Structure 1
Amino acid sequence: MKKLLSPEELARDDRFERADMMDRIQDPRNGSEAANRGNGRLRPDRADAPDAARALMHGIFVGEIQALEGAGRTCYDFEVGATGKLDDEEVPFELKLDMARQCWDEARHCEISVKLSEWMGTEIGEFGENAFLFQAACNPDPVLRLTGVNRALEGLAIDVFNTMKEFGDLAGDPVLEFCEDWMLADEVTHVKMGSDWLRKLTVNDKDRQKRAL
């Protein structure tokens, strides 16, 4: 099986629509949508709250798919080496075990997110998918991959899950609030796992550690 897949090689069925990040940023409709958002906080009393919540939920779902794919690629892309004697393309076996555990977490999040999307009245493919998260999982250096995915994007996911959890609370939706809180606990673990491994992998290379952190 090929190592170091590009985002264009991700397997998707015909329900999914790939959206280019630059096209999304430059979309002329952004101005009118900003007016509906007000101060930007996702609240039930926002004019666009139903669509915004469904779009965010769909974004969480495709993000979880890419997080699963990224952790799985980290299990596969790098050779096993002994801690303290690693080259730049090797990782300890224990790191692969942690990434396998993260795959299980992300797979569970995918299942939960699909059910939540149905609960909120949307379906797979109603909104576009960009491959921003998986692009961070394409770095050939395992340290920089952990930096991009576990420290940066998983950290961002904490904010997203908190936003959806708060929205569920304000909207009086205990199902949404509970599920987001459950997934949030895993994201905190993923960030810590990445931070711990970054330090372990670079303990004898302070310049590399400084670049990563």
Structure 2
Amino acid sequence: MKRMLPVAELARDERFVRVSVEETLFDPRNLSPSAQTNGLAPGVRNASDNARGLMHGIFVGEIQALEGAGRTCFDFDLGDGRDQAPFGLKLDMARQCWDEARHVEISCKLGDHMGGEIGEFAEQTLLYEAACNADPVLRLTGVNRALEGLAIDVFKTMRDFGTALDDPVLFFCEDWMLADEVTHVKMGSDWLRRLTANDPQRQKDALDFQKAVDKLFSFGGFRGETDESPVHLARHFRSLAGFSDEEIEELVDIAAEAYAEAVVQQEARALAVNDG
């Protein structure tokens, strides 16, 4: 089997439509005023459509999380070197594969429950691309801490949406997966500290990579602590997953910075339209 499998070679059938990270980030719809509003808030006219789109994003994200954890098990030789993975880390990634496979199945059925279908929305592949780093520590920070951390926020948001709709199926499934995600992030936090205990520069590089991924997924105010943010930061669950108070506050700042940048770009686009 091939090691370091590129994103272009991921197995998908004809139902899936893939878009690049660049297409997602520079999609003008992500800079529109509606993108900075909470589309799942009670009373929003198209909240059900927004929730279905978010659920589809969760579904394809879980597929990529499964692929990423599996690649980490396979891509690295066993050992304690910089380009190797300890047996315990591989064991944790194998356990995570089981969890992600279950999440794929649950999310697929939740999509049916919500009236959606596979391929209704496009798949962007940043999660898997973060799992392609040649350094296993950067994979841990990019995937287990940044993107699985985002999953904590998303599942908590969807669980709250299930409560607002009085939908026990949605609430139970999201609550179940949320518990798994806390474990996945905690594994990433623990292994990051263990593998970089004697290498502060490697730890800094890994955390810088995590911040870059976090900022990408905070684009346009997508995640934050304001009522307008579509996805809300789950402080309590992040704390359970090994994030310090300082790290959580830093993430709040990253989200606020991303929101401010989106507002500036909105204003620039509006001026360009008016001048035209």
**Normalising by structure 1, what TM-score?**
0.92
Per the alignment, residue 63 of structure 2 pairs with 65
Of 201, 204, 208, which aligns to 2:202? 208
Per the alignment, residue 50 of structure 1 pairs with 48
Q: How far does residue 212 in structure 1 lie from its aligned partner after superposition?
A: 2.1
Per the alignment, residue 219 of structure 2 pairs with none
RMSD, aligned α-carbons: 1.6
Q: Which amino acid aligns with 2:115?
A: G
Query: Could you list the runs of 5+ residues in structure 1 that have no partner in the other structure?
Result: none
**Normalising by structure 2, what TM-score?**
0.72
Q: Which amino acid aligns with 1:65?
A: I
String of CA shifts for 1:93-125, please: whole Å, max 9, x gaps. 111110000000000000000000000000110
Paired residue secondary structure (1:63): helix
Residue pairs, 1:121-160, within 5 angstroms:
121-160=115-154
Q: How far does residue 27 in structure 1 lie from its aligned partner after superposition?
A: 3.4
Q: How far does residue 172 in structure 1 lie from its aligned partner after superposition?
A: 1.1
Residue pairs, 1:1-213, within 5 angstroms:
1-30=1-30, 34-35=33-34, 39-40=37-38, 42-81=40-79, 86-213=80-207
String of CA shifts for 1:155-189, please: whole Å, max 9, x gaps. 01100001100111001111001100000000000
Q: How many residues align?
A: 207
Quick check: 1:164–1:177 contact (8 Å CA) kept in 2?
yes
Paired residue secondary structure (1:175): helix
Give identity over the alignment, percent: 68
Q: Which amino acid aligns with 2:78?
A: V
String of CA shifts for 1:39-90, please: whole Å, max 9, x gaps. 3252241122011000000000000000000000000000001xxxx22111
Quick check: 1:38–1:46 contact (8 Å CA) kept in 2?
no
Partners of 1:52 and 1:46 in 2: CA distance: 10
More deviation, 19-28/131-140: 19-28
